[in-house]
Amino acid sequence: GAVVSQHPSRVICKSGTSVKIECRSLDFQATTMFWYRQFPKQSLMLMATSNEGSKATYEQGVEKDKFLINHASLTLSTLTVTSAHPEDSSFYICSARDEYTGKGTEAFFGQGTRLTVV
Amino acid sequence: DAKTTQPNSMESNEEEPVHLPCNHSTISGTDYIHWYRQLPSQGPEYVIHGLTSNVNNRMASLAIAEDRKSSTLILHRATLRDAAVYYCILRDVWYGGSQGNLIFGKGTKLSVKP
């Protein structure tokens, strides 16, 4: 089946630094990818919708200047957490659907990235 | 998207069937019922989906009430690997583009005892 690969799976960074998370669709193309955030013992919350070749769409309350999204190709979207602070520590998950081969029903998720800001 | 209601948690014994309920009384005629599960420290994975008829696949079965206001995910023989949070999500028939995201509720945390 289709696979979405997310990297890194785990990262620890110092407060004030930036961290980039990559999300790749390995065997299908995706014009749209989604970025979620999940705090401990809570559900996934959509942060933003990544659109290939255009600006991302951010959910209310998500700072676009802090969470930079780049969707430069049909198989890669990146999320950069800029000037990270401890409150940004969370589990970040990307998702994509195979929109071109008729398998659009199922959403595929990356393995997630555990970000810890110290 | 219409809202779903699931129990916070359920317990099962290994190798026994598990029935995970979901209520969706405000479901619309074009809403599909999707189930995803999230194993600890992993991203969610697709389990099954259906519209009106009961559905079976290699992972599970989905039983949909005749009025579509509730559904039940059935794991025929629970294993320790099935311990996860199970999410019941309604999605409109149109999934495309920016509307393709999923809205997750709190789900049901399934524990499986050996």
Look at residue A107 in the predicted model and tell me its pLDDT: 87
Taking the C-alpha atoms of residue A8 and residue A10, their distance in angstroms, rounded to an integer, is 5
Look at residue A30 in the predicted model and tell me its pLDDT: 87
**Which of the two residues, B92 and A68, has the higher pLDDT score?**
A68
- Chain B residues with CB-CB distance to A114 below 8 A: 41
- CB–CB contact B96 A104 (8 Å): yes
The closest CB to that of A97, out of B41, B42, B100, belongs to B100
Confidence of residue A97 (pLDDT cuts 50, 70, 90): confident
Output the tens digit of pLDDT for each of chain B's 114 residues: 568 999 999 999 999 999 999 999 999 888 899 999 999 999 999 999 999 999 999 999 999 999 999 999 999 999 999 999 999 999 876 655 556 778 899 999 999 999
Per-residue pLDDT reduced to its tens digit, B41-67:
999 999 999 999 999 999 999 999 999
**CB neighbours (10 Å) of residue B89?**
23
Phi and psi torsions of A86, nearest 5° = -50, -35
- CB–CB contact B43 A57 (8 Å): no
